[in-house]
Chains A and B, each alone.
Chain A
Amino acid sequence: MAKYIIKRVILAVVTVFVVATITFFLMNLVPGGPFITEKSISVQAQEALKEKFGLDKPLIVQYKNYMLSILQGDFGLSLRQRGRTVSDIIGSRFPISARLGGISMVVAVVIGVPLGSVAALNRGKWGDKVITVIATCGAAFPSFVICTVGMYIFGVHLGWLPTMGLTAPANYILPVFALSFYPMAYITRLMRSSMLDVIGQDYMRTARAKGLSQANRLFRQALRNAILPVITYVGPMLAYLLAGTFVVEKIFVIPGLGGQFVSSILNRDYTVIMGTTIFLATLVIVINALVDIAYKFIDPRVQLK
């Protein structure tokens, strides 16, 4: 196990390094720059800015300096939001995205797994049909449609729910609903098909022949096997949700990381682009590693190599 983890860590560092390098050069290839603004600023001011942030040096030197400074844990200053460090920006925005994304994921799992199981156990009956319809809708509606429709009905028309910010618990309802609907629907469908697969297995029949109670059979034998595909899915989905989602953040005015990431790209705020990319790449890698390790605990057949 320890050997496995060391291996994963080394691999992760290499991956992040490659991601950072590619991003650095791609970003500099794109036309435009952080100091080219709508009203042109004087040549002296542009030079002064470039010098201040080290952008006057050749690209390869900038790359070397950047890599050396991130090794020391310094992600530098934002080029556009003067006076703010990249760590400050990520540090203040990620918790907001993470909390919203985390809650949405929990909601999706808590609703999706039982719904999928119920549908499988009632295959072909009306319960199954209702759930299948909901799951299909969830997979088909994009989140911005759910956002706007939810916002219009519950926020504007009925006035029951707040529509902007995340200041009170009620503020979470609409964005969480919008964010969790798709993963919830997907998990329901996954769970339904894998549950159907599992309950048709020989060992389930054996368990029944051995006289085990139905509850024991379902929860101890079936669920544990049936939930495996869900776990595979939850990893990347969680990374996606925690990173912040641009559309939902924009519609509900949530100061999360997703919106910041997109605007840093549009503004060519190089240091923020780099910092956020490295941070998100690390996040995805860590979550995937955790999912792999979680597999080992749930399914003893899995070998970690």
Chain B
Amino acid sequence: MKKIFALLLALVMALTLFACGTNNGSATPSASASDGSAAPATGAKQLVAQIGPDPETIDPALNTSIDGGSYILYAFDCLLNVDKDNKIVAGSAEKWEPSADGLKWTFHLRSGLKWSDGSALTAKDFVYSWKRVADPKTAAPYAQTVLGMVKGFDEASAGDVDKLAVTAPDDNTLVVELAHPCAYFDKLAAFQVLSPVNQATIEKNGDAWATKPETYICNGPFYIKEWVPSSYILYAKNPNYWNASAVKLDTMKMLLIEDPNAAYVAYQTGETMMIKSVPAAEIPALKDKPDFHLDPLEATYYICLNDTLPQFSDTRVRQALSLAIDRNYVAETLMQGTYSAATSFVGPGISDWDGSDFINNGNGGKPYIDNSDFQANLAKAKQLLTDAGYPDGKGFPAITYSINDQGYHKIVAQYIQQAWKELGLTVNVDVVEWASFLPQRRAGDYEVSRNGWVLDYNDPSNLLEILMTGNGNNDAKYSSTQYDELMNKAAAEADPKTRSGYLHQAEDVLMADMGTIPLAFQNEFSLQNDKITGSWHSPSGLWYFQFADIAG
């Protein structure tokens, strides 16, 4: 028996040696981070949550993802913030005011602001950070969105960054001059892309500054203590944050789990107190549990018709296709109530000029799409298609409906196939891999395609402008002179009320044309233990855990 053991042992040793050999070569933090999950010191409050997979970047200027936005939100404090009721409140700036013509915004910073490393933070840091966003060398994806209206942006984005009209007359004042009025500039000042970043660490470490905890200098409620890619980010309370007394947690551990089933298991075993990625199959069983939460999201699920194709050029056809869809069935049954039936393009939760819901003021207070009587809608749809010259769908070419296979897209596609069959139309579903799907849809290389948009900031223009002629996100290739004119008028208007009027009129035009077919408004579902108190989910998809507490 000894010899067999000796032989096996030799084999085992050879194999382990090999495995170890490969380990030693490149020792990394992740290999030695075993203490990360250890329970914090007694009495310390730790919140554990899962809101997404490993973020590609948490550099405020480079991030485009919503979960990345939350990770940045915990570490950075913008000039302004968004509160629980989705209202703009003071942040690093305690006061702010636009000039009467709306072309100059002045922000008054709190005195004594500090970076997480203890050094002083002044208005000059904001000047540096904002110029960095505009700098083509940074290649910030959202530069145009957040700074496009600032005077000198075009020169800055061509390389002459000092042309950007953002100045700091003194350490506590930041002045921004705009090329044209922007009624929602306060919302942009609260957007994560415009967080202040630390010049010293960026100049020393380059792009890599945002990949290591020790170089990730920030100014928000928390700083990053550990980041094990694809495993977790551990935040610790930042004593140098101006409002540190409002932060009740000692640490926050954000688990970076991609697979919803894995996240659900982690929730069931108590390894996390909250998960965002809930497996869709579990929803019917979880729906009535107290820890299942459904929160509105500023997001619209819609169907793009390729408006450049002759068969979709007739408004009656587009209206018919829209009316033939039973949105209540889609939202309530197919999407298990995690979506709400769409009645317009701009969904709930998006504020109008006076703070009321934009959706309630549209179309004279009536919904654009009446979902209450589906049979009547269907009859109307048949009539419209007949009027357009396709009685019972005769003569209409077969439709290809393109989707990527994720979430509810496939079931919705199958439903659309049936729904439009009622009109006598043939629909073929084409499932395309995500990274190939995007360029195909953007290039207009499709017939009908599912689409969606989550608003970046709480203003209807962020959604409406994507359907302007030539917009990079106008996948429907919708083009209406009247619509473009109204949108341009709105963009140039300083008075919020008049501006809102233009936006409502634009939506009227869009819905009358049915330039794109709104299907459902998205909600976000999550599981959250009631031990977490004082947290909230914003309609823009961010999870506000930084001021939360753990009960008992």
Contacts and interface: CB of A to CB of B under 8 A. Distances in A.
A255 B268 contact: no
Interface string A154-187: 0110010011110110000000000000000000
A38 B12 contact: no
A37 B12 contact: no
A290 B11 CA distance: 13
B33 to A, nearest CB: 8
A98 B30 CA distance: 13
Nearest to B136: A48
A251 B259 contact: yes
A83 B28 contact: no
Contacts of B4: 114, 117, 218-219, 223
Nearest to B57: A82
B19 interface: yes
B3 A215 contact: yes
Interface in B8-55: 8, 11-12, 14-16, 18-20, 22-23, 25-31, 33-34, 36-37, 54
B304 interface: no
Helix, strand, loop or mixed for chain A's interface?
helix
Contact of A220 (B1, B3, B138, B232): B3
Q: On chain B, which size bracket covers the interface?
A: 35 or more
- Residue among A99, A218, A220 facing the most chain B CB atoms (10 A cut-off): A99
A219 B255 contact: no
B206 interface: yes
Interface stretch (A12-20, A58-66, A101-109, A123-131): A101-109
Nearest to A87: B26
Contacts of B435: 30-32, 36, 266-268
B263 to A, nearest CB: 8
A103 B19 contact: yes
Nearest to B140: A45
Contacts of A252: 262
Given A30-B436, A156-B268, A162-B271, A41 B19 contact: no
Interface residues of A, number: 76
B26 A95 contact: yes
A203 B36 CA distance: 58
A108 B324 CA distance: 58
B213 to A, nearest CB: 13
A83 B57 contact: yes
Nearest to B22: A98
Given A109-B15, A223-B4, A36 B26 contact: no
B258 A250 contact: yes
Nearest to A49: B139
B207 A41 contact: no
B136 A44 contact: yes
A6 B177 CA distance: 68
B473 A106 contact: no
A52 B31 contact: no
B230 A105 contact: no
A255 B16 contact: no
A156 B261 CA distance: 12
B413 interface: no
Given A45-B143, A82-B56, A253-B259, A165 B442 contact: no
Closest 3 pairs between A and B when the two form their complex, measured CB to CB? A102-B19, A255-B230, A40-B472
Given A32-B438, A259-B230, 18 more contacts: A36-B442, A37-B141, A42-B141, A45-B141, A81-B211, A83-B207, A84-B211, A99-B23, A103-B19, A109-B8, A114-B8, A162-B269, A163-B262, A164-B262, A165-B231, A251-B259, A251-B261, A266-B435
